[in-house]
Amino acid sequence: MFYASMFFQYAGQYMKTRLQYRADLLVEILSDLLSQAVNFIFILVVFGHTSLLNGWSRDEIIFIYGFFLVPYAVFSAFFNIWDFNERYIVKGEMDRILTRPIHSLFQIILERLELEGLFGAVTGIAVMLYAGHNLGLQWSWADPFIFLLFVAGGSLIYGGVFVMLACISFWADARTSIMPMMYNIGNYGRYPVDIYNKAIRFVLTWILPFAFVGVYPAAFFLGREEWYGYAFLTPVMGILFFAVSVFLWNRGVKQYRGAGN
């Protein structure tokens, strides 16, 4: 309850701050929508030259993209740690974090909230509904609950991978550019993995499991029964990767030497 109370207090203060500069907030939201629109147009351009992509139709690809946007939006809102190395390690702000009686990772998540990123989830759901309508998908009463379970799993996978990358800074505090590269790799999860070769498919499933953020859970709603097993592994993979990331974080904090050492 204490952590939940802190979260809502931080979130409330964050929204008050952002609403003081409504124009900036609106520009950021429009910028995100424009980026998503560009990716959507790319899919339409690809299917302007072909009707199927390794057995996947245009609307199925659009549905997968829409699903991917939802857990990615949750991740973007709560795990904005792309500059952890430079801000908290190189500049020494980790010293300040460690003086407070609350878990350091939770503090950093609260400090780096970007709740406007959740608007991407609205876009993703709208894209899913559009593609689902074109595909004639039928929804059952359990689908919204399964959807939330899959979204939570996908968000934890993304969060776990990037927290693990942030943990590298505790042992090697030099500036690194691995975060932007991983963001680009993560985008592969919004396309069907069977369009890639076996090596890339293995990496996107078991090493950097971004396929569980997009194609595998989306395949459940598309009725692709051959992917059902992978789909229901999504929350398991999310919990596993995030648990490992927290373990590595706790070990890494013990290795932290401070900005002055």
Beta bridge partners, 52, equal 57
Q: What is the pLDDT of residue 114?
A: 84
Structure confidence at residue 112 as a pLDDT band (50, 70, 90): confident
Q: What is the pLDDT of residue 46?
A: 62
Structure confidence at residue 148 as a pLDDT band (50, 70, 90): very high
Structure confidence at residue 102 as a pLDDT band (50, 70, 90): confident
Determine the residue type at 131: A
Say what the pTM is: 0.87
Residue ranges in the chain assigned as alpha helix (H): 2-19, 22-46, 58-78, 84, 94-97, 104-111, 119-135, 143-171, 178-186, 198-202, 215-221, 228-232, 234-255
Q: What is the pLDDT of residue 176?
A: 60
| Of 66, 33, 57, 36, nearest in space to 217 by CA | 66
What is the separation of C-alpha 177 from the centre of its chain, rounded to a whole number of angstroms? 19
**Per-residue pLDDT tens for 76-85?**
889 988 888 8
Structure confidence at residue 133 as a pLDDT band (50, 70, 90): very high
Structure confidence at residue 234 as a pLDDT band (50, 70, 90): very high
DSSP line for 182-205: HHHHHGGGGS-GGGS-HHHHHIII
Cα separation, 118 vs 76, in Å, equals 8
Q: What is the pLDDT of residue 43?
A: 66
Residue 50: pLDDT over 70: no
**Per-residue pLDDT tens for 197-207?**
889 899 999 99
CA-only gyration radius of the chain, Å:
19
Residue 196: pLDDT over 90: no
Q: What is the pLDDT of residue 1?
A: 75
Structure confidence at residue 47 as a pLDDT band (50, 70, 90): low
